[in-house]
């Protein structure tokens, strides 16, 4: 087994797409050898992780496709992790990468993989950190991670990505004030997508105002208008992403923050690995029949028995 993992690791580093896919499958499903593979990874890789998040309907997949088109012209090698909603019955991804980005599926410079959230509380897969690190062993220039939507995933993506792009559409204009406390804290770049629609200019101005208020003595968060379906504004967005990544190389505090968040999530996952979701469901169903049922008392008891 150890020999096979070493061989697989070498194939991943060589950029073998089949080996990368196999490594992702091993880690995502905790198959035999997954710990050995993770322990063999290095932290000297040059690929940068870009998170694309935003509410459903913001055009994130279209934006990703437009960025792929742009970066391919620059001969970059790119991996895409599209995190899809899970089926509540079999935990599979409901959306497929072939459907989403079919024109790039056979491109030798692009690796695309869909991951199911599998019941994770936020919009990311429970194994997204480990899967991303496996892919970072391969010779990709950029790794794009597209989340399901907003919510807890905002916090998660901030702990994973070197640069977080928050995508909004003009219809979200009324929601900007409520986003101030959450998204404003994690957005490295804002995108107003579908900018040809009415109210796009109003949303753009509101975001610029909020970015200015947040900035203080630091640089303002860039706000970029795009029409992803027509590739408009994509070059400007790619330029802002490059600019941000180049400045972040000089900020070790940012890197330490990202590594701390990743480590915290890994520790949490490790402590929860003995948790049996089906067992929880069964016990909860029984407990809820009792007149004196209390969710917090039940949770405390369950944790005491199953979390090591």
CATH number of the domain enclosing 65: 3.40.50.300
- In terms of phi and psi (left: phi > 0; alpha: psi -120 to 50; beta: otherwise), the region of 33 is left
Same domain assignment for residues 165 and 291: no
Burial 82-101 (b: 16+ CB within 10 A, else e): bbbebeeeeeebeeebeebb
- Are 17 and 111 members of one domain? no
8 shares its domain with 129: no
Same domain, 127 and 109: yes
105 shares its domain with 202:
yes
Q: Judge if 115 and 33 occupy the same domain.
A: no
Per mean pLDDT, which range of 59-63, 74-78, 116-120, 182-186 is the poorest? 116-120
34 in the same domain as 58: no
142 in the same domain as 23: no
pLDDT tens per residue across span 260-290:
877 887 787 777 777 777 888 899 999 999 9
pLDDT digits (tens, 9 = 90+) for 77-97: 999 998 765 433 334 444 443
d(CA 283, CA 193): 45
pTM of the entire structure?
0.80
In this predicted structure, the answer to whether residue 22 has a pLDDT above a threshold of 90 is yes
**Lowest-confidence segment of 154-158, 184-188, 205-209, 299-303 by average pLDDT:** 154-158
Question: How is the beta sheet containing 110-116 ordered, strand by strand?
Answer: 110-116, 78-84, 142-146, 48-53, 163-168, 189-192, 223-225
pLDDT of residue 206: 85
State how beta strands 48-53 and 163-168 pair: parallel
Give the model confidence (pLDDT) of 159-187 as tens digits: 678 898 989 888 765 556 556 556 667 78
**Domain identity same for 286 and 209:** no
Q: Indicate if the pLDDT at residue 24 is higher than 90.
A: yes
Q: Based on the domain organization, do 156 and 283 belong to the same domain?
A: no
Same domain, 4 and 95: no
Give the range of the structural domain holding residue 252, as residue numbers without chain letter: 44-268
Specify the number of domains making up the chain: 3
Q: What is the largest CA-CA distance in the chain?
A: 65
Q: Are residues 211 and 285 in the same domain?
A: no
């Amino acid at each position: 087994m150890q020999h096979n993992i070493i061989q697989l690791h070498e194939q991943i580093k060589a950029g073998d797409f089949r080996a990368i896919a196999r490594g992702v499958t091993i880690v995502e499903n905790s198959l035999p050898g997954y710990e050995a593979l993770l322990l063999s990874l290095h932290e000297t890789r040059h690929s940068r992780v870009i998170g694309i998040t935003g509410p459903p309907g913001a055009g994130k997949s279209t934006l990703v496709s437009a960025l792929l088109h742009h970066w391919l012209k620059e001969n970059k090698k790119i991996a895409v992790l599209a995190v899809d909603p899970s089926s509540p019955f079999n935990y599979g991804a409901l959306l497929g990468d072939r459907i989403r980005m079919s024109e790039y599926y056979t491109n030798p410079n692009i690796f695309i993989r869909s991951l199911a959230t599998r019941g994770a509380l936020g919009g990311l897969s429970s194994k997204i950190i480990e899967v991303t690190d496996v892919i970072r062993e391969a010779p990709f220039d950029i790794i794009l991670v597209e989340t399901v939507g907003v919510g807890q995933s905002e916090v998660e993506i901030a702990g994973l990505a070197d640069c977080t792009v928050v995508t909004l559409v003009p219809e979200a204009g009324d929601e900007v004030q409520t986003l101030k406390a959450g998204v404003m804290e994690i957005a490295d770049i804002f995108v107003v997508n579908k900018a040809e629609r009415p109210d796009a200019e109003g949303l753009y101005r509101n975001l610029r105002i909020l970015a200015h208020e947040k900035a203080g003595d630091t640089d303002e968060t860039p706000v970029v208008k795009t029409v992803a379906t027509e590739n408009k504004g994509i070059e400007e967005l790619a330029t802002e992403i490059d600019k941000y990544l180049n400045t972040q190389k000089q900020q070790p505090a940012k890197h330490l923050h990202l590594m701390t968040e990743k480590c915290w999530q890994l520790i949490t996952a490790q402590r929860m690995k003995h948790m049996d979701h089906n067992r929880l469901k069964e016990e909860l169903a029984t407990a809820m029949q009792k007149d004196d049922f209390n969710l917090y008392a039940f949770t405390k008891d369950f944790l005491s028995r199953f979390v090591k």
